[in-house]
Structure formats: C-alpha cells, structure tokens
Amino acid sequence: MRTRTSTLATALATVAAGALATVAVALGPASAAPLPFSEPPRLSGMDVAHYAGPIGTPGTMLSTTTLDPAVSLPAASRAYRIHYSTTDVHGRPATSTGQILLPRRPAPRGGYPVIAWAHGTVGSADQCAPSTHPELDDAVIYLSHWLDQGYAIVATDYAGLGTPGNLSYLSTRAAAHSVIDSVVAAHRTDLPLAAQWAIVGHSQGAAAAMSAARRATEYTRGTGLDYRGVVATGTPANVEHVVWQIGPGVPPVALPAGLTAYSAAILAGFADARRDFDQRRYLTAAGRRAMRIAQTQCTPQTGMALRHDNVADWFTRPISSIPGVKAALIDYMAVPYTGYDRPILMVSGLPDRAVPIPFSMSLAAQLVANRQPVHLVTYPDTGHSATMLRSMSVSTPFLARILR
C-alpha cells in the first residue's frame, strides 16, 4: 500500500511532466545579437579556477579584490569580488567566488543589513560565473532596487563556477553551503555589515535560497549572525520526481531548448555527485555529448548547441533502472518542506515558461501541509523574469519588516 506521501509525489510528478511536455520555448532561435556570456569573463584580477592553496573552515575569506567596474552596478558605492571557503556536494572542503556590493547611502549604526543573493541558471562552466559578467537587464533593476533600499548584497557564484570542481547544478545542499558561507565570509571583513541578514533567490537561486533558509540558523550558529527570512521567486521544486522518470522515449516530445539545457546540466551535476553512475551503461553518445556541452558552455550556448536534441535520445535505459536512484535524486536536489524557523515569501507567475507553475505550487502545498511559515503570492499574467521584478511590491515591505 502506498503512503500518502508517495501518492502525492506521484501526482506532482505527473502534473510536472505534463507541464514539461507543453511548455513554450525558453531560449529563442539565434539572432544577430550576441548571446549572454559570449564575452570573455572579467576576473577582476582573481583567477582561482585552478586554486590549490589552503581552504580552511567553511566561511573563511581567502581573498578579496575590487570588482571590475564593467561587471559592477551603478547603484553600488563599493564592489568587491571575493574568494571564500565552503563545502561541495561530496561534503569536502571547496571554494567559491562571489561579490559584495555596498549601497550608496551611509551605513546605519550597526552596519548595512545583508541580502544574500542566489542567482538563477547561467551554466556550469567556469567562464559563466556571474561575478565575471555584467548582470542582465532584469537583474540590474532587481539588485539595484535592494541597494537603493539600503541593503548590502552578498552574491555567491556557487562552488564549481570559476573554482576547482564541478558545479552541482540544482544540488540544494551544496548551494545552501555556498550561500550561507558567503555571508559568514563577508562578515569576516572590515566592511560595515549588520548581523541581520535575509536570503533572496530566483529560479535556480530560489531552490538554493529555500535550502539555505532551512539550514541558515543551524549552519551559522556561533557566528553572531542573525538570519531573518527568505524570498524565493520562480522556485523549481520536486523536479527530482520528473527526472527519475526520464529514459528512452520519455519525454515523448522534444523539449524547448531552454529545458533541454537545464536537463543536460542536471544530468552532469548528478553524474558528478553520483560517482558510480556509469555513463556508457546508461547514456548514448548523444547523451554523453550533451553532458560535455553542459559542463563546458554557459546556458544560452548550451541551449543553442542542443536545440535539435531530444532528451529521450540521450539514454540507453531508464534512469529509474539505476539502483537507489530515487533516494539519490531526493538527497541531491529535493527542496526541503519542513524545518523552517523564519518567514518564507514565495512568489510565482502562473504563465512561467522557464519553471512551470506545478513545480513551485507543489512546494507551496507541501509547506502549507507541514505548517511552515510560508506566504504565497501568485500573479496570473507574469512570466519568469517579470515575476521577479513584479514581486518587489510585496518583497520590499516583507524584507523591511523582517530586517528592521
């Protein structure tokens, strides 16, 4: 007899799989305009892709440098690129890069309250690290708003993006470490940062933000930091219940280029986390090619390279035939839905094409069912990035309340 939980998971997977099969194109066809991340990365004098020095305990600040103005924000008075210690998907010491951005207004007594920013999908290759590229227009508006509100921003790149090792794409545990440890490291500088901090994330970063929110109090105990809450927009959750169903003939239709790129990144990240995954046993030559592209290109380029691929053609046998794969995927990428100790604001757009609404709504339902401190806002007419921007009308008073 199936439990209520397993029945719910099956229902969520069915709805989400249907959304994947019908979602519109997330990355459009090639045009005369260069794709994002086409320019070489601006490293700000900090090239740590092959760093082999000491790491120290999680949250150790290894180095800082002034951020190249070309990748900073006009709303920032000062901007730094940082290199700090964290923990990877295998539980081993690792490093990550990121940014610290300070507002233009004078620091209040006690320092600027901090927003830990968890970015959306950019790709898995070192050259895709957000701290080495200008922000896209929507993110410029969004992050500048928080600087104008008087918050300092600490923005991780996630371990493996511009640092040794591989990006563990959608690994909620690894991302949580990167987010939390960036804030710990930032507070080990002489910058005027307050103890109070919150987490804000969008898309891939919303899953990272939620996972970090679940662990923030625990992981910062003894540091003097005061975690207050989280804002998550366009949250991909319960994706694992779709992934384990993929195999020859599934999905039955070719996915849009954007979702094909995401699928390749998930596969590459999970294969790295699950070292006993035998690529030649489960993947065709096309599947192994897709993984290599995802590991070496940024997401727009991956989407273009794989735009004619059918994900179902990547497999020689179903993912579900891998021993213990369901539990492994849950451990790798499940967004927690219990154990939160601070307020949660989730915002989603019903016509979201990059993260179809069943993913975020299923998480909201799980949180409500488990009596978690969540407030859900949905918009009937905004897509993925538009929801992030529109959410400022509710997230601004939310953050002002919890960070005062």
206 and 78 in a common domain = yes
Mean pLDDT of 349-378: 96
377 and 250 in a common domain = no
Number of compact structural domains in the chain = 2
**Mean pLDDT across the chain, nearest whole number?**
92
What is the domain range of residue 152?
Answer: 61-237+336-402
277 and 267 in a common domain = yes
Mean pLDDT of 108-135: 97
Give the pLDDT band of residue 33 (cuts 50, 70, 90): low
278 and 190 in a common domain = no
The number of angstroms, rounded, from the C-alpha of 379 to the middle of its chain's C-alpha atoms is: 22
Q: How far apart are CA 185 and CA 59, in angstroms?
A: 4
Q: Residue 127 has which token pair?
A: 């050259």
Question: Residue with structure tokens 């924000």?
Answer: 73
Choosing from 332, 359, 386, the residue where a domain stops is 332
For 86, the enclosing helix (H) or strand (E) is strand 78-87
266-321 tens-digit pLDDT: 999 999 998 888 889 999 999 999 999 999 999 999 999 999 999 999 999 999 99
Q: How far apart are CA 257 and CA 270, in angstroms?
A: 20
219 and 101 in a common domain = yes
Mean pLDDT of 71-80: 98
Q: Residue 358 has which token pair?
A: 């069943």
121 and 92 in a common domain = yes
156-214 tens-digit pLDDT: 999 999 999 999 999 999 999 999 999 999 999 999 999 999 999 999 999 999 999 99
Q: Which one-letter amino acid corresponds to residue 102? A: L
Give the per-residue pLDDT at 123. 96
Q: Which one-letter amino acid corresponds to residue 337? A: Y
Per-residue DSSP letters for 225-254?
A: -EEEEEEEES---STHHHHTT-BTTBSSSP
By CB atoms closer than 10 A (0-12, 13-18, 19+), residue 5 is exposed
278 and 340 in a common domain = no
Residue 209 in any domain: the answer is: yes
Q: How far apart are CA 270 and CA 331, in angstroms?
A: 10
| Strand-pair partners of 230 | 199, 344
Give the per-residue pLDDT at 30. 34
Give the per-residue pLDDT at 82. 98
Q: How far apart are CA 170 and CA 155, in angstroms?
A: 17
